[in-house]
Structure 1
Amino acid sequence: MAIPQWQHSFQALGSRYTSRANPDPASSPEWMGWNEALAEQLRWPKDLRKTDEALAVFAGQHPLEGTSPSASVYAGHQFGQYNPQLGDGRAILLGEWALSPSEHYDIQLKGAGQTPYSRGGDGKSPVGPVVREYLVSEAMYHLGVPTTRALAAIATGDKVFRNTIEPGAVMVRVAKSHLRFGSIQYFAMTR
């Protein structure tokens, strides 16, 4: 069995499509959830399965060798209006986990901090939306609905300011691709 490795085909598209974006280190991360079945499917290394090292990686405290964190730009409609440039405002792609030449999975941190597309936001996520996405994405998957998957949920120990002060969290999500219709729309409208 071949050992999976990181690839970065999004970044190969160039700076017009992606920008570097490093996760903000969490102050005192703790595991909230870990999806061992998905880790098995991904052939995720045993030393990075709900370990202190994995927690440090997903909490932005320690870069994982082979990753190249980035955020993607896209266009689309928001609040009923066309917006020619949106983007991953709080999602940071670590890279594509390549199980074989034809089977890749994007590993993305959601709520891990600002990106060039945050548009003044902090790029963080409160615990509530992370727990909701973790549960709903796995429920949808098990109902046969194509969706992103939840590898992990991590409490950051940091405070997130929304309408009130809330505890922060990071979602580690997985998908065959995070390419959106808006990714194609962006290039169609800006060429």
Structure 2
Amino acid sequence: MSGSWNDFNDAQSNTNLIPKGTLAKVRLSIRPGGFNDPAQGWTGGYATRGTTGSVYLSGEFTVLEGSYARRKVFTLIGLYSPKGPDWGNMGRSLIRGMLNSARGISDKDTSAQAQAARRISGFADLDGLEFVAKIDIGTDTNGEEKNEIRAAVTPDHKDYPAIMGTTGVAPSPPAPPSQPSMPQSSTPKSGTRPSWAQ
């Protein structure tokens, strides 16, 4: 399938990249940066302060399942930028999405339970979080392409249950085939006389 040993035209330039738009179940590990600001609720040494004064979480997202299992995507989750609120708002939006995804909440759900599920007591609650991510492609400081995660996939997405492996979806676990006698027990509902009832 690949080209001959001396023909490199079909060699991919960066085979490390996961295709843009790939949905994958990932686990977040926060690489501690040792920066705390208790007034902001940034404790436990999880946050990192950059040279420009920006503050972020250094996220390492490990793909858990599928063809890219064990691959890692490194993404900074913005908490504060001296340039303005945009970066911190993007970070907040991503964390909200991650919590929705991990805890199975629709982004539109405004119930008390949903609001409680979007609260964290500290960054430790995010460390180890498993959710469905949308893999994107950005550029690193050298202008090289790299994978990053800018959005989480919530239960509103049609592919969420399959990727997350949620048990809440009844049709997916096919229990009946393992017990061939099951279909007969459902026939009485139709009003016909099953043989065992005569």
User: Comparing both structures, which one devotes a greater share of its residues to strand?
Assistant: 1
Normalising by structure 2, report the TM-score: 0.25
Bigger Rg, structure 1 or 2? 2
Normalising by structure 1, report the TM-score: 0.25
